[in-house]
Structure 1
Amino acid sequence: MSFVSPGSAIDQEAQLPPERELEADAAAKVVGRSPTRLAMARFRRDKLSMVSFTIVVIYVVGAILAPFLVKFGVLDPYGPHQSLLDPALGGIPKSHWGISLHHPLGVEPGAGRDVLSRLWYGITFSLMIAISATLVAMVVGTVLGIIAGFSRGVVDTLISRLVDLTLSFPQTLMLLALSSTGVALFAKALPGNQAAALPNAVYVILVLGLFGWPGMARLIRGQVLTIREREFIDAARVLGASNGRIYFKEILPNLWAPVLVQFTLVMPLYISAEAALSFLGVGIPPPTPTLGNVLTDSINYSTGDFFFFLFPALLIAIVVLSFNLLGDGLRDALDPKGDR
């Protein structure tokens, strides 16, 4: 008569068949992930989006560091280097377009200022204008879009007609027509108006932002028309939540994905718009550098000093393309049902 210890019996009962063990191991490897982590994983798998994201990060970090580099003398966007220019050629740099170890991108014809310093410092002002104008457009468009989509009725009709009215105005012509009056008004109202760049910057930001919100409002309104029918909105109404709480506590947190994507798509538009406005004489006046007015100054020397024209044009093209590709990548990552 064999004797089986209780411990060994328990061990035999605890053993699972091989199939069950494989199933248990597979179940243990499955880890739940939130929608945000899933979106980040999809975004990281997109090589082109990651390259664009890296370029955008470098651009933003460079814009933040530029004022400090100017303060400590690393960059010199205003200092002339007349000794590197040839007066006989109309102020064109003497040799190799002024490119040297101290001036990696050369110097400006006529003024002799370092091109690298002006482009790097100009990134700061261009980014400031683009971000500020985009924030104005996003805030106005998001608030009016939420109100229109949730309220419907007369309020929705009035906001929709306001969108149509705003879109009917030619933005560029309005900006040119109101430039002298608007800049003079801000020059009187703003403190420290001795800085000529500040009134122009505020004017460009407000005009771009206040004429750029209708597209955002239409996008948000369409999203809110769907969200307002969800169960958590009905629950908030039953609990007696005010419209303001429903707008900003219930609806707005569910709109961060389209707002983020739209932000990255609108930003490059305003970077290009700043360059175009500088060409038309409405942007930031020199000698304050922006990508737009550096490119405008280079057009007069596009034949005599081609690299002076090439560097700002190439930088603007790379930055705008990177923001656009980043926006497309975010849209694909946040909307897995969309066609890639």
Structure 2
Amino acid sequence: MTVQASNLESEQLPDPSGAPEGDVSKLAGKSPTRLAIGRFRRDKLSMIAFVVVALYILAAISAPFLVKMGVLDPTTFHQELTDPASGGLPTGKLGGISWDHPLGVEPQTGRDVLSRVWYGLTFSLAIALSATLISICVGAVLGIIAGFTGGWVDSFIGRAIDLTLSFPATLMLLALSSIGIQLMADILPGTFSDPLPNGAYVVFVLALFGWPGVARIIRGQVLSVREREFVDAAVLLGASRRRLYFKEILPNLWAPLLVVFTLTMPAYISAEAALSYLNVGIKPPTPTLGNVLRSSINYSSADFVFFFTPAFLIMIIVVSFNLLGDGLRDALDPKTNR
């Protein structure tokens, strides 16, 4: 009788999940990816940064098409909108803001500021994205090899990282700019003043001095991943080094690589602006955020709107990428507190 009563009580106990009988979907656990997405979506600041970054990328992609359609006009001079008596400053208030020129016009030339800034997003994104992808690819491969192989290979890559980091990157870039851009002009179609050789040189230098940081981060992650059971199983099954590197190790590094990507992009956007200020990089009339900002510095007091527009845009983009990287790091690693 006692056994029968206990069986009846166990049969009448309510389901703690509250799910109907046979509904297994509500009882199923969530994958780590879905949990990370849920944590990221609950972070309002990171979501705002994600929207800003998405709008930046969309604007950069759409700019060349808008230029071809005639919606944007970053090169046409409108000198009738400037006042020679005041040193070429725009006529009207706030840098010549009007319905035709919502952000005003450029001093001396009268070119539309909105068109130049919008079109400059494309070249700044292309430079930053290309340099970031090259840095991550080179750094990830060398970091995986160093962390997994160890021994003299790890020591050799480590010394190469130390040697690269010991060079003053900005000084080397300035010293080799003439030779490097001319070399790129010989390899790529274009001349010394065309945007392609100049942009390729900036990408090359940024990637050359950017991969060591990525390699160090990935090496530290690989030292942990290589001790897991699935790697030991692959080694016992006779997997080749190539399979171990790119089939077993690399798929488990997507989270730190994603965070590194979102934190490297703003650094290279700022670097492009700084290099343009030093007259290294894409030259006018082709606009980038950097050379538009460089042109506006001379008018920081006389035409504050012209100076404020590219500076504020660079600040917003860099801060948004950094906040996005912080949000991704917190979402992918819940033990890390902001």
Band of TM-score, shorter chain: over 0.9
Query: Which of residues 141, 150, 153 is equivalent to 1:152?
Result: 150
Alignment of 1:202-241 (within 5 A): 202-241=200-239
Which whole-Å deviations, capped at 9, do the CAs of 1:162-216 have from their partners, x for residues lacking one?
Answer: 0000000000000000000000111111124476111110000000001111110
Q: Does 1:270 align with 2:268?
A: yes
- Identity fraction in percent: 67
With structure 1 as the length reference, what TM-score do the two structures score? 0.93
Structure 2 CA distance for aligned equivalents of residues 109 and 293 of structure 1: 14
Alignment of 1:1-340 (within 5 A): 17=12, 19-22=13-16, 25=19, 29-96=26-93, 97-193=95-191, 196-340=194-338
Give the match's secondary structure for 1:80.
coil
Which whole-Å deviations, capped at 9, do the CAs of 1:255-278 have from their partners, x for residues lacking one?
Answer: 000000000001000000000000
| Cα gap change, 1:187 to 1:16, in 2 (>3 Å) | same
Structure 2 CA distance for aligned equivalents of residues 22 and 140 of structure 1: 51
Give the match's secondary structure for 2:209.
helix
Shift of 1:32: 1.4
Structure 2 CA distance for aligned equivalents of residues 311 and 322 of structure 1: 17
What is the identity, as a one-letter code, of the residue corresponding to 2:171?
L
| Cα gap change, 1:150 to 1:305, in 2 (>3 Å) | same
Structure 2 CA distance for aligned equivalents of residues 154 and 222 of structure 1: 17
Structure 2 CA distance for aligned equivalents of residues 48 and 260 of structure 1: 18
Greater C-alpha radius of gyration: 1
Give the match's secondary structure for 1:248.
helix
Structure 2 CA distance for aligned equivalents of residues 86 and 200 of structure 1: 33
Which whole-Å deviations, capped at 9, do the CAs of 1:64-120 have from their partners, x for residues lacking one?
Answer: 000000000000000111111000001001111210000000000011100000000
| Cα gap change, 1:273 to 1:22, in 2 (>3 Å) | closer
Shift of 1:22: 4.8
Shift of 1:30: 3.2
Where structure 1 has 5 or more consecutive residues not aligned to the other structure, the ranges are 1-12
How many residue pairs end up in the alignment? 326
Structure 2 CA distance for aligned equivalents of residues 117 and 157 of structure 1: 50
Structure 1 CA distance for aligned equivalents of residues 306 and 250 of structure 2: 46
Contact 2:135 2:210 (C-alpha < 8 Å) held by counterparts: yes
Contact 2:181 2:192 (C-alpha < 8 Å) held by counterparts: no
What is the identity, as a one-letter code, of the residue corresponding to 1:233?
V
With structure 2 as the length reference, what TM-score do the two structures score? 0.94
Structure 2 CA distance for aligned equivalents of residues 319 and 87 of structure 1: 35
Structure 2 CA distance for aligned equivalents of residues 23 and 185 of structure 1: 68
